[in-house]
Amino acid sequence: MSPADIILSAGVFAAFIPYIHRSGNMPLAIGLGTLNATLLLAKKRFPRVTLAGCLLLTAVLAVLTRRSYPVTPATLVALYAVGRYCTRGMALAAAVLTILAGFFAAQVSERIPSYTLKNVQVLGWVVLAVLAGAWVRTQRARVRYVEERAERAERGREEEARRRVAEERVRIARELHDIVGHALMSISVLSSVTSRIIERDPAAGRDALRTISGVSNSALREIRSTLSLLREGTEPLKAPERGLDDLCTLIEQARMSGLPITMKHDVIRREIPAIIGFTVYRIVQESLTNITRHAEGVTKVIVAVICANDYLDVTVVNDGADATFSEGDGIGIQGMRERVTATGGRLDTTALPGGGFRVHARLPLKEASR
């Protein structure tokens, strides 16, 4: 109950003064007026009960004051409350019942004059009060709908922002994992090889050290490039540093670390989207890193990049004895799958019978070029 409700009830009681003045029973009239004003305090929670009570009390008051129709300010406020807080059907029924109640009270009481054309304006007040409440209810509902829609839109924008932040975080982690993981693994393998051969073959040792320097510098350039693109707000996948042209260098670095790699490259001369070339590079890079890290006794590694129709197939196969490992345990495979899915392609990883592991990705060229 708000202060406005109390003020309204007090105002309704004050409006009863003309009716009370015409009554021959002043205490009874004042009591009925007080009850009417008190009933209105419950109009928001119990609008129908409030209207029924006001109609009953007003009918009694009309008999005392010989009014032609039992419609008072309290009844009009109660009708407004029904229109405001009830459904349209209930508001219409309330208006009809009010009119019928007035007609019944006028006919059964000999003290109330019969209906005349003057009563039409009183009936109009009944309809107007209900329509006013219904109009306010409709406007409030429309305002609530607009506010809720704005809130949903705001929540949607916040969720979209959180989703983009999460995707960006995953993408940064994936890039750093591929760059740093491959570089550190290559440096580790090459440094162990260099420590064994540098004394008996200084030239080969120097070549290995130069390779280590090249791998580390390359990784640093990629990291700096990724971070600079992020600072500038450019999506790294839209301006990749690596592509198909860098596969030969990647293969040579892996061979120097001891992997027996055979390269099959059959790409028809056509423009390959940068995102596809970048994805192929990362797939081969991560696959070779996994072979170096997990496989033992590797005697053969085949890297095949073949373009057929509107697809580019990349396959990396090895025969290492312990090359198989759970897909769920490998962050690198998860990263490869995310990269391939982002291009609209499909990635398959298969443990081969008798040992070995196969990574195959089919990348669509048409969708990537859009």
pLDDT 10s digits, 129-186: 888 888 888 888 899 899 899 888 888 888 888 887 777 777 777 777 777 766 777 7
Helix, strand, or coil (residue 268): coil
pLDDT tens digit sequence for 293-318: 777 788 889 999 988 778 899 999 99
pLDDT band at 326 (very low <50, low <70, confident <90, very high): very low
Q: What is the DSSP string of 260-283?
A: -EEEEEE--SSPPPHHHHHHHHHH
CATH (one of 2.40.50.140, 3.30.565.10, 3.40.50.1000, 3.40.50.720) for 259-370: 3.30.565.10
Side-chain half-sphere CA neighbours of 197 within 13 A: 17
pTM for the full model?
A: 0.50
72: pLDDT strictly greater than 80: no
What is the rounded distance in angstroms from the CA atom of residue 282 to the CA atom of residue 276? 10
Q: Domain-by-domain residue ranges, the chain?
A: 3-116, 259-370
Tokens describing residue 252: 């040579």
**Which of 14-18, 77-81, 326-330 is predicted with the least confidence, judged by mean pLDDT?**
326-330
pLDDT over 90, % of the chain: 6
Q: Which phi and psi angles does 355 have, rounded to 5°?
A: 110, 150
pLDDT value, residue 347? 92
Q: In whole angstroms, what is the distance from residue 37 CA to residue 13 CA?
A: 6
Contact 301, 336 (CB under 8 A): no
Q: Which pair of tokens denotes residue 7?
A: 């003020």
Q: Record the tokens describing residue 147, joined without a space.
A: 């506010």
Q: Where are the beta strands (DSSP E) in 146-269?
A: 261-266
Mean pLDDT of the chain: 76
Order of strands across the sheet with 301-308? Answer: 261-266, 301-308, 311-318, 357-364, 346-351
Tens digits of residue pLDDT in 91-113 = 888 878 777 776 676 666 655 55
